[in-house]
């Protein structure tokens, strides 16, 4: 049985850039929620953001890149069992199944409408896919059910205390927990982000999706965790947690970090 440690409540006050964040970095963060996380926002708006993420992942090949990063971590396991949290559109899981002939994937999200959309698509009838609603902070699975748990472009949705709990949960149900998430940008990069987002979205998205996508994109950038913060969150979940920063996934798309959390055997 995995031992669950009490998480120091002080972690709730950790800046997104970590305890060592600069004065300016501490000001460039927000508690404002993305539309994806708000109960008062219609699912129509949320699905515009999810569709944009899917399109962006296809165009930049990030679904493929992230799937390869995930599969590299289970290359020594013949029939890996993988849980994807916060799957949104499910394309990362679809790529994993396409690239690996025997992997099984549980594709999940906390949003039941996204889960229903995934279940209504090709993954719904895939013999190696299971689709279900899962909250990353309270995973309804036995210890060690999975060889790998993956959370892509979503970890920044969780505030520090909850994020630390999610690391504890994912490393309870899985041997390894791969977080691929937005890199925390420098102040200058952040200042340029809205302009970049508007131009990219104007080219690839219908005009009606522009505001939700730019809104959620900019808030995501302000909420992204630094490597120092991710390491602290892992150690708050378990002082012996191993935190490995992988080489930056190559390719196009928003810059990301890939970090693997695992407990000592
Ligand atoms: C920015 S989207 C990323 C979607 C997809 N993983 C991708 O890479 O494009 C964030 C996703 O995380 C989900 N999410 C937010 N909080 C969550 C939680 N506590 N547990 C599971 N999923 C969560 C949202 O519903 C949303 O689908």
Tell me, yes or no, whether 198 lies in a domain: no
**Distance, CA of 226 to CA of 50 (rounded, Å):** 24
How far is 148 from 151, CA to CA, in rounded Å?
10
Burial of residue 139 (CB within 10 Å: 0-12, 13-18, 19+) is buried
Q: Compute the mean pLDDT over every residue in the chain, rounded to the nearest whole number.
A: 95
Is residue 141 domain-resident? Answer: yes
Residue 155: inside a domain: yes
What is the domain-level CATH number for residue 156? 3.40.50.150
SS3 24: helix
Nearest Cα neighbor of 167 from 250, 64, 243 is 243
Q: Are 106 and 130 in contact (CB under 8 A)?
A: yes
Question: Which of residues 258 and 254 earns the better pLDDT score?
Answer: 258
pLDDT band of residue 101 (cuts 50, 70, 90) is very high
Ligand 1 centre to CA of 63 (Å) is: 14
Query: Does a structural domain hold residue 252?
Result: yes
CA distance 184 to 76: 32
> CB of 224 closer than 6 A to ligand 1?
no
Residue 151 lies in a domain: yes
Span 175-206, pLDDT tens digits: 999 999 999 999 999 989 888 888 888 877 88
**236 Cβ closer than 6 Å to some ligand 1 atom:** no
The pLDDT of 233-249, averaged and rounded, is 96
User: Given this model, what pLDDT does residue 265 score?
Assistant: 75
* Domain assignment of residue 149, yes or no: yes
In a domain, 25, yes or no: yes
Per-residue model confidence (pLDDT) at position 250 = 81
Average pLDDT over residues 144-161: 98
Number of domain units in the chain: 1
44 found inside a domain: no
Quote the tokens at residue 203.
């080219």
Which domain range does residue 180 map to?
9-29+61-184+225-262
Given pLDDT bands bounded at 50, 70 and 90, which one contains residue 169?
very high
Residue 210 has pLDDT above 80, yes or no: yes
């Amino acid at each position: 049985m995995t031992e669950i440690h009490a998480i120091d409540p002080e972690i709730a006050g950790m800046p997104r850039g970590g305890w060592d964040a600069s004065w300016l970095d501490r000001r460039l963060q927000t508690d404002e929620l993305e539309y994806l996380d708000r109960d008062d926002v219609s699912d129509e708006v949320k699905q515009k953001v999810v569709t944009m993420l899917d399109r962006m992942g296809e165009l930049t090949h990030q679904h493929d890149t992230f799937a390869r990063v995930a599969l590299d971590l289970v290359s020594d396991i013949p029939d890996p069992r993988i849980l994807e949290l916060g799957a949104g559109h499910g394309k990362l899981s679809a790529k994993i199944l396409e690239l690996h002939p025997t992997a099984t994937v549980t594709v999940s999200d906390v949003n039941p409408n996204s889960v229903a959309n995934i279940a209504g698509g090709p993954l719904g009838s895939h013999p190696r896919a299971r689709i279900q609603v899962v909250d990353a902070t309270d995973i309804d699975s036995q210890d060690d059910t999975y060889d790998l748990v993956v959370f892509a472009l979503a970890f920044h949705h969780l505030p520090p205390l909850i994020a630390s709990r999610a690391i504890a949960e994912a490393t309870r149900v899985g041997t390894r927990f791969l977080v691929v998430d937005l890199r925390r940008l420098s102040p200058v990069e952040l200042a340029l982000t809205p302009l970049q987002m508007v131009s990219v979205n104007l080219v690839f998205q219908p005009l009606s999706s522009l505001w939700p996508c730019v809104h959620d994109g900019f808030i995501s950038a302000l909420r992204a965790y630094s490597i120092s913060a991710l390491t602290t969150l892992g150690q708050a979940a378990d002082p012996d947690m191993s935190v490995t920063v992988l080489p930056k996934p190559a390719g196009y798309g928003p810059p990301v970090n890939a970090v693997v959390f695992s407990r000592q055997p």
